[in-house]
Amino acid sequence: MKTLDDLLGEGVSGRRVLVRADLNVPFDKANPGVISDDGRARAVLPTLVALRDAGARVIVMSHLGRPKGAPDPKYTLAPVATRLSELLGSDVVFAEDTVGPSASAAVEALADGQVLLLENLRFNEGETSKDDAARVAFAGQLAAYADFYVDDAFGAVHRKHASVYDVPSLLPHYAGGLVLKEVEVLKRVSESPEQPYVVVLGGSKVSDKLAVIKALLPKVDKLLVGGGMCFTFLKAQGHEVGKSLLESEMIDTCSALLAEADGRIVLPVDVVAASEFSADAAYDTVDISDIPADRLGLDIGPKSVAIFAEAIGSAKTVFWNGPMGVFELAPFAAGTRGVAEAITKIDGFSVVGGGDSAAAVRTLGLDESAFGHISTGGGASLEYLEGKKLPGVEALEK
């Protein structure tokens, strides 16, 4: 596939470049409009700066959240435009629609080296439509704005959406540095990981991670399981889990995975069990055989952290996706922190697989540079490791 460097080598001064970014940032629930983690915005900065400094007229597009194909003030990208302006050190023009009069006027008025952000792509039904014709029609409206297309939104490449899959077929297209780096890293951990290879999986549901567990299990030396998903595995081992998150329909599947793994799946031996899902709840650390019937596990315990850290410490390659507990609530953050800190100390290559894991690194104030790579796309990372084709990457390869 052609790259951003190829495009810059051709010269972009005075030319319009449509950039698909992933600006799907989280917001502070207590303060609407306040971005709680700008990691995805910062990740696309090198591409935007390179194009701006080369004199391109840069048109940025992104989705935010899951609006229903119509404008919704809750999901406006306006606060993101403000944050991008701060990060770039120059004003970012914001269009109040995507393919309407505001966007059209803003595109026409763009000067060399100026950056424009269009309103949320998902305010338009055509972006996510399963009707090919509707999607292509919307893609045509977007493509009409520009001379070139650059995709640097790895977090969206697993979606067959207009801005990701169809626009590249209508314009000369190039992969941004972020997309190239993500694919390179994931290829490394899926095809040729240096052994010992340890995978750490957390999050809420086994069903969400089942495909990646099946894909990785033959390749790993240890698979460490924490988060809400561990309780279905523990139930499969015969433990009572109280009111903890449980996928009853997955118990037999977990039993089969444990048998297949032959000791390579490592589960917690203690958990932090709380009276309710709240930072103010009463809680205790208990062994997995002693989880009270009226409590739910919200984090792995210190013995589990030590066992996980020992396994991680021997690894040459670590892939981590999913927190060990409800790290957003202070009483239940120690498990995630402990495991993350262990990963930073390995004498090898570590990958944080995006999503909540990447958010945890920043929320807990950990040194991002201590990890080998922090992915911007949790879902895309997992689908790549499952062996699925990513529509956005396929489109760039044509």
Residues making up the binding site: 22-24, 40, 63-66, 122, 159, 209, 297, 328, 354-357
Active site (annotated) includes residue 205: yes
**Crossing angle of the two packed helices 45-53 and 177-191, in degrees rounded to 10:** 140
Looking at residue 166, what DSSP letter applies? I
Catalytic residue among 15, 20, 40, 52: 40
Catalytic residue among 2, 205, 219, 362: 205
Nearest to 154 by CA among 31, 12, 39, 322: 39
Q: Which residues of 223-237 are buried (b: 16+ CB within 10 A; e: fewer)?
A: bbbbbbbbbbbbbbe
Whole-number Å distance between alpha carbons of 29 and 385: 32
Which residue positions form the known binding site for substrate? 22-24, 40, 63-66, 122, 159
State how far the alpha carbon of 333 is from the alpha carbons of 198, 272, 324, in Å: 21, 10, 8
User: Are the C-beta atoms of residues 359 and 333 closer than 8 Å to each other?
Assistant: no
Catalytic residue among 227, 322, 338, 355: 355
Looking at residue 3, what DSSP letter applies? B
What token pair was written down for 360? 């945890």
Active site (annotated) includes residue 379: yes
- Using left for φ > 0, alpha for ψ between -120 and 50, and beta otherwise, residue 181 falls in alpha
User: Are the C-beta atoms of residues 324 and 337 closer than 8 Å to each other?
Assistant: no
Three-state SS for 172? coil
Give the DSSP letter string of 174-210: EE-HHHHHHHHHHHHHHHSPPSSEEEEE-SS-HHHHH
φ, ψ for residue 266 (rounded to 5)? -110, 125
Quick one: how far is CA 122 from the chain centroid?
Answer: 18
Which residue positions form the known binding site for ATP? 209, 297, 328, 354-357
Active site (annotated) includes residue 345: no
Active site (annotated) includes residue 40: yes
What token pair was written down for 177? 């540095």
What token pair was written down for 34? 């306040």
Catalytic residue among 140, 219, 379, 388: 379
Which residue positions form the known binding site for (2R)-3-phosphoglycerate? 40, 122, 159
Q: Which residues contact 235 (CB under 8 A, 6 or more apart)?
A: 241, 246, 248, 251, 254
C-alpha radius of gyration, the chain, whole number: 22
List the catalytic residues: 40, 205, 355, 379
